[in-house]
Structure 1
Amino acid sequence: MRYLLALLLASLASVAQAASLTLDTGHGATTLTTAQLLARKGARAIDVPGDVSYHRAMRYKAVPLRALLQGVPADAHLQFTALDGFAAEIPASLVLDGHGAEAWLAVEDAPWPSLGDGKPSAGPFYLVWLHPAAGKVGPEQWPYQIATIRVLADPAARFPLMRPAPGLAKDSPVMRGFEVFQRNCLTCHTLNGQGDAKLGPDLNIPHSPTEYLREGMLRVLVRNPQDLRHWPQAKMPAFGPQVLTDKDLDDLEAYLKHMAGRKPH
């Protein structure tokens, strides 16, 4: 039994060491293995208090993410695609100058703990942050099980069917809600059939949630999905006021109501 356990642990470590990350900063995709990443200058062990995914302090071997983005301008846009279809959209400016927040790519060189019963670990690659509050980094900006990092145009340019009607003031509730949607919802959901995420349902086709939820229930859904529909297999997390303020939710609802009238024909 002890031999089998040792063999299993060795096998898991071998799998972790064999993982590879696809990185495309706009000049063609490259592949970086676990060993190559950990051999880079600046790679070191870091301590992450209050890890978003593990809900406790964690220690990782990690590489400063900005070191992988040489030549990427601050106004660029980064997409982190996970093995399960989660697609986080993060402005490069947050990584290159997070006003004190530091982005690190944690590398699973030996098996990390499971994220829960029957779940895998956060590896093989996981974007973690030191001092996240300094850059107002939200939980959706901690993507794990990362397979690909790409520099792309921002979502408004890539997905025109998500854009509100032209002519709206930039600080209008609808436009502010569009920003909330891009930051927090686009990681899992499509809208009007557009988007790269594969986890959640489309939020406008065939119906917007604002068309079938009575007043106030969208807020219940976002604050804690299990308070609306109890479903043990549900993947949507709860978004507390520290992540989405009540004003953010009001703006998001304004955007979704607006887009309910802009379905593609």
Structure 2
Amino acid sequence: MDGELLKTLIALGALLLSLPLSAAQLDLQLDASSRTWQTEELLKHPQVQTVTIKDDVSYKKDMTYQVVPVAALLTGLKPEDHLQAVALDGFAAEMAAAPLLNKHGARAWLAIEDPAQPWPPLSAGKPGAGPFYLVWTDPEAGNISPEQWPFQVASIKLMAPVAQRFPALLPDPALKDDDPVKKGFALFQKNCLACHRLNGAGDAQFGPDLNIPYNPTEYFGADFLKRYIRDPQSLRQWPQAKMPGFSAQVLPDEDLEMLMGYLKHMAGRKVRP
């Protein structure tokens, strides 16, 4: 390649990297109150404020953001409603509306990336958490899991409950309401369904199916499966690994047992997609 042309291309690349990010938009599909928010509109929202998140789940350090209370954007919703936050990479977090509407205790905020001051990469060779990132203050008060911190959010949708949309996820209907397997199903929705499908059911485009062709309880010993859920990279390491570990603070041992109980139960209820 001609030397002058190479210099020109390098200079052009440097110029492009130095340009600020373009503004983005957040699509809220909430029936009567549906609307699209532009970055600039959110940064001028009457309730916008600066919040410091201690030990941010995604960045693993304290981070300061311009935020708007999520409750201020979810006008007209009821605590019993069900939402799905969809990220640019296919991550689809299933979320009950109730904690998102809280104004005390664990509180949800929409962090907004200013194109003039972009956030840092999540790690080497990876993008940042923008343009929109759902973060929490005092998450311990609401037992908020890592899957309830979706980043690169593109849309938030009002949806029918998971059990209604995906009957292939349901445990045996003969089980009593207080059966631990049913509690495990609720934990699966909260902690796993954002990344994984099961029996081909779910909206995630991210991780492998957890029942087809094999359920992890069929090829992991119980102790190793627990260890994998707690600290995935202690068993499998690769540069693009994205599964977070679930600490005992987020997923207590009793809950982990019930989650594994649901998975083992579903190994006997395979449904080919």
- TM-score if structure 2 supplies the norm length? 0.89
**Match runs of 1:74-89 below 5 Å:** 74-89=79-94
1:201 to 208, 213, 216: 208
**Match runs of 1:84-103 below 5 Å:** 84-97=89-102, 99-103=104-108
Question: Contact 1:80–1:146 (CA<8 Å) still a contact in 2?
Answer: yes
1:160–1:34 Cα change, 3 Å? same
1:192 to 169, 190, 199: 199
Letter in 1 for 2:91: F
C-alpha deviation, 1:253, in angstroms: 1.4
C-alpha deviation, 1:250, in angstroms: 1.1
Question: Contact 1:50–1:57 (CA<8 Å) still a contact in 2?
Answer: yes
1:56 paired residue number: 61
1:199–1:181 Cα change, 3 Å? same
Question: Contact 2:33–2:75 (CA<8 Å) still a contact in 1?
Answer: no
183-192 or 33-42, which deviates more: 33-42
**Match runs of 1:1-265 below 5 Å:** 7-8=15-16, 11-13=19-21, 15=22, 18-27=23-32, 29-97=34-102, 99-109=104-114, 110-264=117-271
C-alpha deviation, 1:48, in angstroms: 1.5
234-243 or 120-129, which deviates more: 234-243
Letter in 1 for 2:184: G
The SS at the match of 2:136 is strand
1:15-60 per-position Cα deviation (integer Å, ceiling 9, x unaligned): 1xx2111111123752211011122210122222221111221111
Aligned residues: 261
Letter in 1 for 2:41: Q
Structure possessing the higher radius of gyration over alpha carbons: 2
Question: Contact 1:99–1:135 (CA<8 Å) still a contact in 2?
Answer: no
Question: Contact 2:133–2:151 (CA<8 Å) still a contact in 1?
Answer: yes
Q: Distance in 2 between matches of 1:55 and 1:194?
A: 31
1:173-206 per-position Cα deviation (integer Å, ceiling 9, x unaligned): 2111111111100010000101011111000011
2:4 paired residue number: none
The SS at the match of 1:61 is strand
Long gaps (5+) in structure 1: none
C-alpha deviation, 1:61, in angstroms: 0.9
Aligned residues with identical type, % of pairs: 54
The SS at the match of 2:68 is strand
109-118 or 238-247, which deviates more: 238-247
1:229–1:59 Cα change, 3 Å? closer
* RMSD (Å) for aligned C-alpha atoms: 2.0
Deviation >6 Å, runs of 4+: 3-6
1:152–1:118 Cα change, 3 Å? same
